[in-house]
């Protein structure tokens, strides 16, 4: 099996390539520097030239607030470029795994969203990722769409690194407490994606570490596990206004994973513990 991974410069793409290499699977990871997704002809030339059996499409425009003003670029990368990759996969008969997001849902109430629940993104980023999903479904008869949330990995910026930095020398912090979801460790997610790629159990899936929390609860657990004497005080979203509206409910049902016979990811607390160990081994930098 030959696997092409887009978004190698990001948290998830980096760990997917690491997981593939650990399994001795032939792969190549492409980052933005050498793979401009908006140059459709160049992308087609590269992918058809390398002829992968599987494309794991991790690359995306993920600057959620910036997307509110860079709407065209966000749509171009997340929707149009995804359609282009789907068409290439169709033409060369390659499997496609498209990474999507909890932001495709309206983020209201407290129910766990099923994979087929009504969509209703509240910001440009979510709309562009939903358009990417729809492009994949329009072009391909068989595909993997995997929605993830609150991603963190060793390679790049994330909430955990931000909290560890903010907490230095502090005894208290206020963090948003009315947005609830599930953190996702890219090491765990990468294993699942590689497991999926080896099967023909196509479909739409939700994949995040088990359990739910608010951002405030997540932050408190970070400080507790890192043994930092910081007390977190939850506040409403209105205390930290952002350009893009964030969903307050990012709970996603894992029923589709269960039905397809894929293992759920470990708890987010366990994932955080392993991540902090990995971060410490890297000297807190990566």
Going by pLDDT thresholds of 50, 70 and 90, the confidence category of residue 162 is: very high
Reported as type and span, the H/E element at residue 225 is helix 215-225
Active-site residue among 125, 143, 185, 205?
A: 125
72-99 tens-digit pLDDT: 999 999 999 999 999 999 999 999 999 9
In this structure, are residues 63 and 10 in contact, taking their beta carbons and an 8 Å threshold?
Answer: no
3-state secondary structure of 13: helix
> Is 98 assigned a catalytic role?
no
Going by pLDDT thresholds of 50, 70 and 90, the confidence category of residue 32 is: confident
What integer is the mean pLDDT of 126-151? 98
Rounded distance between C-alpha atoms, residue 149 and residue 138, angstroms: 24
Q: What is the mean pLDDT of the chain?
A: 96
The pLDDT value given to residue 34: 78
Domain regions of the chain by residue span = 2-158+184-210+251-265
Rounded distance between C-alpha atoms, residue 121 and residue 104, angstroms: 5
Strands 54-57 and 151-152: unpaired
Rounded distance between C-alpha atoms, residue 263 and residue 271, angstroms: 15
pTM of the shown model:
0.96
In this structure, are residues 286 and 279 in contact, taking their beta carbons and an 8 Å threshold?
Answer: yes
In this structure, are residues 6 and 46 in contact, taking their beta carbons and an 8 Å threshold?
Answer: no
Residue 285 pLDDT > 90: no
Specify the residue for token string 């994973």: 257
242-254 tens-digit pLDDT: 999 999 999 999 9
User: What does the block give as tokens for 8?
Assistant: 């190698």
CATH for 2-158+184-210+251-265 (3.40.50.970, 3.40.50.720, 3.30.2010.20, 3.40.50.620): 3.40.50.720
Residue 203 pLDDT > 70: yes
Reported as type and span, the H/E element at residue 145 is strand 144-148
Give the C-alpha distances (Å, rounded to integers) separating 111 from 12, 106, 146, 246, 253: 27, 12, 19, 16, 9
Rounded distance between C-alpha atoms, residue 19 and residue 270, angstroms: 19
Rounded distance between C-alpha atoms, residue 120 and residue 4, angstroms: 31
């Amino acid at each position: 099996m030959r696997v092409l991974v887009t978004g190698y410069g990001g948290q998830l793409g980096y760990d997917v390539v690491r997981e593939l290499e650990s399994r001795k699977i032939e792969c190549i990871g492409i980052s933005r520097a050498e793979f401009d997704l908006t140059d459709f002809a160049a992308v087609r030339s590269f992918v058809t030239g390398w002829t992968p059996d599987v494309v794991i499409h991790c690359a995306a425009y993920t600057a959620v607030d910036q997307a509110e003003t860079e709407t065209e670029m966000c749509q171009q990368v997340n929707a149009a470029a995804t359609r282009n990759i789907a068409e290439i996969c169709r033409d060369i008969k390659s499997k496609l795994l498209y990474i999507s997001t909890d932001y495709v849902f309206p983020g209201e109430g407290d129910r766990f969203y099923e994979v087929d629940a009504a969509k209703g993104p509240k910001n440009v980023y979510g709309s562009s990722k939903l358009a990417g999903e729809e492009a994949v479904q329009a072009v391909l008869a068989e595909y993997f769409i995997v929605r993830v949330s609150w991603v963190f990995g060793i390679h790049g910026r994330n909430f955990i690194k931000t909290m560890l930095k903010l907490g230095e020398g502090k005894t208290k912090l206020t963090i948003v407490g009315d947005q609830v979801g599930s953190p996702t460790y890219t090491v765990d997610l990468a294993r699942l994606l590689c497991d999926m790629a080896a099967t023909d159990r196509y479909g739409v899936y939700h994949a995040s570490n088990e359990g739910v929390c608010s951002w405030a609860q997540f932050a408190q657990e970070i400080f507790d596990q890192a043994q930092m004497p910081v007390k977190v005080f939850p506040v409403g979203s209105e205390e930290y206004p952002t350009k893009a509206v964030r969903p307050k409910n990012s709970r996603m049902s894992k029923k589709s994973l269960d039905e397809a016979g894929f293992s759920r990811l470990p708890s987010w607390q366990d994932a955080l513990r392993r991540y902090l160990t990995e971060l410490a081994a890297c000297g807190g930098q990566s």
